[in-house]
A and B are shown apart, each in its own frame.
Chain A
Amino acid sequence: MTDRAVEDVAVQDILSTIRGGNEPEQGLKPRSELTARELLREVGAVLRMSEAEAAKLGDLPLDPADDQTMIINMGPQHPSTHGVLRLMLELQGETVLRCKPIIGYLHTGMEKQGENLTYMQGGTNVTRMDYLSPLNNELVFSMATEKLLGIDGDIPERAVWMRMLLSELNRMSSHLLFMATNGMDLGAVGMMIYGWREREQVLRFFQKVTGLRMNHNFIRPGGVAADLPAGWRDDVLHLLEMIPPRLEEYDTLMTGQPIWRDRLQGVGVITQAEAIALGATGPILRSTGLEWDLRRDQPYLHYDEMEFDVIVGTYGDAFDRYAIRLNEIRESIRIVHQILDRMPGGDYRIQNKKVTPPPRARIDESMEALIHHFKIFTEGFKVPEGEVYVAIESPRGEIGCYIVSDGSATPYRLHVRAPSFVNIQCLPHMMRGGLVADAVAVISSVDPVLGEVDR
């Protein structure tokens, strides 16, 4: 029998299964008069073919070119690519042979724009890069500017502690959102709602402090924009009380659950050597067992006085990265407790007239204050010539800011080393040889923010 004939027989068999029976095509007979085949059709059995029928179909002649691979395009409008990430995947069957991330769909020239904004305005620009941890972006930009100004040791204590408080709460909100999106990508849709819900609580606190939920422009060169509002301590304590039991719920919902483990364990494995070679930082690097956290290893602000653990994984897989982020929320809570105990009073920004605008009340009574205010807001403050690279630990890894100053009020060059931009290079390595169904789990575990990938 030729291949073609086998195929025809198989097709006829299916067609007869569907059409066969004693019921007229546009009629309906009583159930008692129907053949068994009709009844099967009624309950949808046609769709669930019998083993014999399925085997027949399985014997269909194979495509002579079936060793060919298929190249499929995923994104940039795919809901699980976290924005506008596009992946080209080369598949053989369900196995991913190669993967190439294609980026740039969100490129808005923020580094170019940064050269046209003064140091005062720069915060509004950098805060929009990694829009899930805006306060860390502002922090690294402010720290770089302060280093160029030579005032990095003179920032008032209260401002430093406020920066730490906001940075840690931002880490929590970012990781909570990761819990939500990671759950959503893997089908744990309930988790999505819980993650967003808890994150929103943190953002509400940010709104109370900075006036905005995101893109705050609150941490500025010289300190922060405003003092903490009345009742801030109770709000933070409320968060610290509310979140830990919720994390326990996440554990019940996901961590110990067999389906969750099966979907994540052993998926997207990366070795330590690979992660270092690829420049991966943050939870990806830590998932391979390397204790590297800039808060501890190159401390900034007052992190050297804080007691916290650097969470590391063992296998470098997606489950490790999930577990690291979950436990980093707990460590952030520990840090915030210590910050609350030690939050000093005093000024929240440096009283350097060249950098900080004078208080509103002073403008009415002092000519100099008016002039300083006018000059800072029209032409900005001048920063001495030089270049500096400052790096801090953002929720996604090392975020660096390289500023070159030519002595004017705008940066000559503003470059942001975006952790997601570098981390995304791990995707081809993590996906190689894996299943296409796991691709989504892998993207999710890298937790890229496309706003900072493309800048």
Chain B
Amino acid sequence: MSETAEPEVVAPAPPMLHGVPLSDSHGQRVLHPTRAAYLKLVRTLLDETYTMCADLTAVDYLTFPGRALPAGVVAERFEVVVNLLSIERRERIRLRVQVPPDDATIATLFDLYPGSEAMEREVFDMFGISFTDHPDLTRILMPEDWEGHPLRKDYDQGRIPVQFSTDFAAKERAQ
């Protein structure tokens, strides 16, 4: 078991699925679409019985840029990770989409999987990645007036003053 565990992708010609590089991570299939191909690929997979969006999250690779990616995939700071599930085939497939920090937007999956609504809001809240055409892109876990996106790697734990939404002392001073 342990000797086959390394995610090895043959560099010259990575295997493709629906025209998108496919890699293997510990026996799990991972697709690496570009942002442009993302929505079309998800639609294809949905037609192919991947009817449930089990999970949608993101990773900030700011301090770990050298991760293994198949040839032809340009590493960016953010990665949106989508886990799709086919109940009919009892299979999972994972999508990793590179999202650059200067234009941190990606298409929403809401039209295809309404259940991704809360998960996309969480990613927006925690990473500041916007989902175009999302019906209600607001903070979900943090207070509405919170500044910053806590799960970004440049957002240090414990080194920021706690933000209170009701600063009574400041209110008194203002009066």
A115, A153, A422, A425 — most chain B CB neighbours (10 Å): A422
Q: Smallest CB-CB separation from B7: which chain A residue?
A: A386
Which residues from 88 to 132 on chain A have a C-beta closer than 8 Å to any C-beta of chain B? 103-104, 107, 109, 111-113, 115-116
Chain B 51-81, CB-CB to A under 8 Å as 1, else 0, gives: 1111101011001100110000000000001
How far apart are A410's CB and chain B's nearest CB, in angstroms?
Answer: 12
Which residues from 308 to 354 on chain A have a C-beta closer than 8 Å to any C-beta of chain B? none
Check if A386 sits within 8 Å of B51, measured CB to CB. Answer: no
Whether, in the assembled complex, A280 has its beta carbon less than 8 Å from a beta carbon of chain B, the answer is: yes
Check if B87 sits within 8 Å of A422, measured CB to CB. Answer: no
Chain B 114-139, CB-CB to A under 8 Å as 1, else 0, gives: 11111100100010000000000001
Chain A 402-442, CB-CB to B under 8 Å as 1, else 0, gives: 10101000001101010001101100000000000000000
Known: A103-B141, A279-B52, A279-B115. A150 touches B1 (CB 8 A): yes
Whether, in the assembled complex, B43 has its beta carbon less than 8 Å from a beta carbon of chain A, the answer is: no
Q: Smallest CB-CB separation from A105: which chain B residue?
A: B141
Whether, in the assembled complex, A147 has its beta carbon less than 8 Å from a beta carbon of chain B, the answer is: yes
Check if B2 sits within 8 Å of A151, measured CB to CB. Answer: yes
How far apart are B119's CB and chain A's nearest CB, in angstroms?
Answer: 7
Q: Which residues of B contact A301 (CB under 8 A)?
A: none
Check if B54 sits within 8 Å of A400, measured CB to CB. Answer: yes
Whether, in the assembled complex, A277 has its beta carbon less than 8 Å from a beta carbon of chain B, the answer is: yes
Q: Which residues of B contact A193 (CB under 8 A)?
A: none
Check if A412 sits within 8 Å of B114, measured CB to CB. Answer: no
Binds B, one of A250-258, A290-298, A365-373, A374-382: A290-298
How far apart are A232's CB and chain B's nearest CB, in angstroms?
Answer: 29
Check if A422 sits within 8 Å of B118, measured CB to CB. Answer: yes
Check if B55 sits within 8 Å of A278, measured CB to CB. Answer: no
Whether, in the assembled complex, B32 has its beta carbon less than 8 Å from a beta carbon of chain A, the answer is: no
Known: A116-B157, A402-B57. A147 touches B26 (CB 8 A): yes
Partner of B141, one of A402, A425, A454: A454
Check if B114 sits within 8 Å of A400, measured CB to CB. Answer: no
Assembly CA distance A417 to B142 (angstroms):
18
Whether, in the assembled complex, A389 has its beta carbon less than 8 Å from a beta carbon of chain B, the answer is: yes
Whether, in the assembled complex, A384 has its beta carbon less than 8 Å from a beta carbon of chain B, the answer is: yes
Check if A425 sits within 8 Å of B117, measured CB to CB. Answer: yes
Assembly CA distance A340 to B18 (angstroms):
47
Q: Which residues of B contact A277 (CB under 8 A)?
A: 51, 113-115
What is the interface residue range for chain B against chain A?
A: 35 or more
Check if A402 sits within 8 Å of B115, measured CB to CB. Answer: no
Known: A103-B141, A278-B114, A384-B6. A406 touches B64 (CB 8 A): yes
Q: Which residues of B contact A249 (CB under 8 A)?
A: none
Partner of B157, one of A109, A385, A412, A415: A109
Q: Which residues of B contact A242 (CB under 8 A)?
A: none
Q: Which residues of B contact A227 (CB under 8 A)?
A: none
Check if A421 sits within 8 Å of B118, measured CB to CB. Answer: yes
Whether, in the assembled complex, A387 has its beta carbon less than 8 Å from a beta carbon of chain B, the answer is: yes
Whether, in the assembled complex, A200 has its beta carbon less than 8 Å from a beta carbon of chain B, the answer is: no
Whether, in the assembled complex, A152 has its beta carbon less than 8 Å from a beta carbon of chain B, the answer is: yes
How far apart are A293's CB and chain B's nearest CB, in angstroms?
Answer: 11
Known: A116-B157, A150-B1. A107 touches B55 (CB 8 A): no
Chain A 347-364, CB-CB to B under 8 Å as 1, else 0, gives: 000000000000000000
Q: Smallest CB-CB separation from B122: which chain A residue?
A: A421
Partner of B83, one of A107, A109, A150, A402: A402
Whether, in the assembled complex, B143 has its beta carbon less than 8 Å from a beta carbon of chain A, the answer is: yes
Q: Which residues of B contact A398 (CB under 8 A)?
A: 54
Assembly CA distance A104 to B141 (angstroms):
4
Which residues from 142 to 159 on chain B have a C-beta closer than 8 Å to any C-beta of chain A? 142-143, 150-151, 157
Check if A153 sits within 8 Å of B94, measured CB to CB. Answer: no
Check if A387 sits within 8 Å of B25, measured CB to CB. Answer: yes
Check if A104 sits within 8 Å of B2, measured CB to CB. Answer: no
Check if B141 sits within 8 Å of A386, measured CB to CB. Answer: no
Check if B1 sits within 8 Å of A297, measured CB to CB. Answer: no
Partner of A388, one of B26, B54, B117: B26
Assembly CA distance A290 to B141 (angstroms):
31
Q: Which residues of B contact A278 (CB under 8 A)?
A: 114-115
How far apart are B56's CB and chain A's nearest CB, in angstroms?
Answer: 9
Whether, in the assembled complex, A53 has its beta carbon less than 8 Å from a beta carbon of chain B, the answer is: no
Q: Which residues of B contact A248 (CB under 8 A)?
A: none
Assembly CA distance A281 to B87 (angstroms):
11
Q: Which residues of A contact B2 (CB under 8 A)?
A: 150-151, 153-154
Partner of A111, one of B1, B119, B151: B151
Check if A404 sits within 8 Å of B25, measured CB to CB. Answer: no
Whether, in the assembled complex, A391 has its beta carbon less than 8 Å from a beta carbon of chain B, the answer is: yes
Q: Which residues of A contact B26 (CB under 8 A)?
A: 147-148, 150, 386, 388
Given A415-B81, A454-B141, list of 11 further CB < 8 A pairs? A107-B141, A111-B126, A115-B157, A152-B1, A153-B2, A276-B87, A290-B87, A292-B87, A387-B67, A388-B26, A425-B117
In the A-B complex, the 5 residue pairs with the closest CB atoms: A279-B115, A153-B1, A150-B5, A150-B2, A278-B115
Q: Which residues of A contact B (CB under 8 A)?
A: 103-104, 107, 109, 111-113, 115-116, 147-148, 150-154, 276-281, 290, 292, 297-298, 384-389, 391, 398, 400, 402, 404, 406, 412-413, 415, 417, 421-422, 424-425, 454-455
10 A-B contacts (beta carbon < 8 Å): A104-B139, A104-B141, A147-B26, A150-B6, A279-B54, A279-B113, A297-B87, A384-B6, A389-B83, A402-B81
